[in-house]
Structure 1
Amino acid sequence: MAKLHEIIQWCDQTLKSHEFKDYAPNGLQIEGKPEIGRILCAVTASQDAIEAAIAQGADLLLVHHGYFWKGEPYPITGMRGKRIKSLIQHDISLVGYHLPLDSHPTLGNNAAIADILALENIEALDPAERNPIGNIGYLKTAMSAEDFKQYVSERLNFSAIHLPAEKTSIQKVAYCTGGAQDFIGKAAAQNCDAYISGEVSERTFYEAKELNVHYYACGHHATERYGIQRLAKAISEQFDIEYSYFELNNPI
């Protein structure tokens, strides 16, 4: 067993969560029992993930997408009310880390993408950021746009959507997981051959063509299922407690 407040303190320090201006609170969002013996991690704190935490006897649900996002209504009712009620009734803590988990150089979602795609010589997508939430890496050997589509689809287990550009080969690759399609302009400014994110917008088709950067939409969920597992594993090793991962294959 480990103390909840010690886990939160360690996570906050490790991820430097205080250094981020985020869209939702990072860290402890709903407080449950003070002693933690088992963690369930998931990308999103959905009702399915909560039911899995209850079924597995988890004391803490660790997620990338938690609650209390900016712009959400204040009343705890409806779908969100049911979720929060389920957590409180079973004394399960909800802990979420968003941008700090995207950014972390070894535990983060972007770090995982670089490892999975075997990208080398990693640098910041935006050099002005203190803690970059997007990165650039290089393929050891250049690929055609179609070969790269097949490569990322296989490695990330997601059928990538490719929005083409004129460049005939890809080696310098920018990437930022989740819903960061609008960073394609930063990729163009850094003269990248391709840019990877999770989601895609109608406007992205034209931006890829006109900015001459191949865009690959590889799934919001699919690109962000790695960081939370890395964080849960690190907590497990630090505090000698059990963890498991809940996968609900979201096609978006």
Structure 2
Amino acid sequence: MCERAEFLRTLDDLLQPERFKDYGPNGLQVEGRAQVAKVVSGVTASRALIEAAIAARADTIFVHHGLFWRGQDGCVTGWMKQRLALLLAHDINLFAYHLPLDAHPTFGNNAQLGLQLGLVAQSYFGEQELGCLGQRADGRSFESPQDLAAHIQRALGRSVALAGDQNKTIRKIAWCSGGAQSYFEAAIAAGADAFITGEISEPQAHYARECGVVYLACGHHASERYGAPAVAAHVAAQLGLAHEFIDIDNPA
């Protein structure tokens, strides 16, 4: 057990949110009990995750996607009221870290996605250098984009949308978890043969065909399942807390 303030301090020291220009607040988003004993980690602070944390008798939730984002109207109605009501009624702390959780070089979403896929980052690219550029840890190439897509599908358990040249060897691989479509042009400029992220929008298919760089979308949720439990497990072990990862499946 530790004080909530110590838990927050440990997270901030690890993830360094002050380094990032983000889309919402990082850190403690909803205040619950002053002492932390059991942490539930998950991808998104959905009602299903909050209900699962209550059932698990957790006093703290740690997520990548919190409740508050730039551009919201600020009204506590509908789904927002329902989620907040559950957190407040059960006195549960909600901690959320967005870009800092993507970026951590060991426990972050991009590092952990690379680990799942057997990729090693050699450099970084894109806005705030969130994108990773590297190759397979074993130094081998993928003989075709279809081989890489099949490899991703086996590792993540999700089908992969593939766009671009279907007949090229893949050696230099760029990746950025979640909805990182806007990083594709930077990946092309960085010299990638292929770019892996969670989502694809209409323009990226054309860029892939015209620029000769393969684009692979493996699911926003599927690409971001790994950072939150890695961070939470590390901090929980450091502070002597119980930790449980609860994966609320999402087809997106």
TM superposition score category, shorter chain reference: over 0.9
Give the paired residue count: 249
User: For the aligned residues, what is the CA RMSD?
Assistant: 1.2
How far does residue 167 in structure 1 lie from its aligned partner after superposition? 5.8
Equivalent pair of 1:40/1:61 in contact (CA under 8 Å): yes
**What is the rounded CA distance, in whole Å, between the counterparts of 1:228 and 1:120 in structure 2?**
20
Q: What pairs with 1:15-30 in structure 2 (closer than 5 Å)? A: 15-30=15-30
Q: CA deviation at 1:202?
A: 1.4
Q: Which residue of 2 aligns with 1:200?
A: 200
For the 8 Å contact 2:121–2:132, the answer to whether it is kept is: no
Q: Which whole-Å CA distance do the structure 2 matches of 1:167 and 1:185 have between them?
A: 21
In structure 1, the partner of 2:6 is 6
Distance 1:247 1:93, change over 3 A: same
Q: What is the identity, as a one-letter code, of the residue corresponding to 1:195?
A: F
CA contact (8 A) 1:185 1:211 kept: no
Moved more, 166-175 or 193-202: 166-175
Q: How does 1:85-234 map to 2 (within 5 A)?
A: 85-126=85-126, 129=128, 132-139=129-136, 140-143=139-142, 144-165=144-165, 168-234=168-234
Equivalent position amino acid for 1:181 in 2: Q
- The question of whether the paired residues in 2 share the 8 Å contact of 1:166 and 1:212 is answered with no
Deviations 1:165-185 (A, max 9, x none): 266110100000000012110
Give the structure 1 partner of residue 34 of structure 2.
34
- Provide the TM-score with structure 2 as the length reference: 0.96
Write the distance in 2 (CA, Å) between the matches of 1:89 and 1:166: 53
Question: Distance between the aligned counterparts of 1:199 and 1:20, measured in 2?
Answer: 22
Unaligned 5+ runs, structure 1:
none
- In the alignment, the residues of structure 2 paired with residue 68 and residue 120 of structure 1 have an alpha-carbon distance, to the nearest angstrom, of 33
The question of 1:237 aligning with 2:237 is answered yes
Closer/same/farther in 2, CA of residues 146 and 166 from structure 1, 3 Å limit: closer
Hey, which bits of structure 1, 4+ residues long, moved more than 4 A? Answer: none
**1:119 maps to amino acid:** L
SS in 2 for 1:206: helix
For residues 114-137 of structure 1, give each alpha carbon's deviation from its aligned partner in whole angstroms, at most 9, with x where no partner exists: 1122223521123x84xx211101
Alpha-carbon contact 1:167-1:213 (below 8 Å) kept: no
Contact preservation (8 Å) 1:116, 1:155: yes
Query: Structure 1 length as normaliser, TM-score?
Result: 0.96
SS in 1 for 2:158: coil
Cα distance in 2 between the residues matched to 1:114 and 1:70: 29
Measure the CA separation in 1 of the matches of 2:196 and 2:141.
Answer: 16
For 2:140, what is the secondary structure of its paired residue? strand
Q: Distance in 2 between matches of 1:55 and 1:190?
A: 46
Taking only the aligned residue pairs, the percentage that are identical comes to 39
- Aligned mates of 2:57, 2:118 — CA distance in 1: 37
Q: Is the 8 A contact 2:114 2:121 kept in 1?
A: no
Tell whether the 8 Å contact from 1:184 to 1:213 is kept in structure 2 after alignment: no
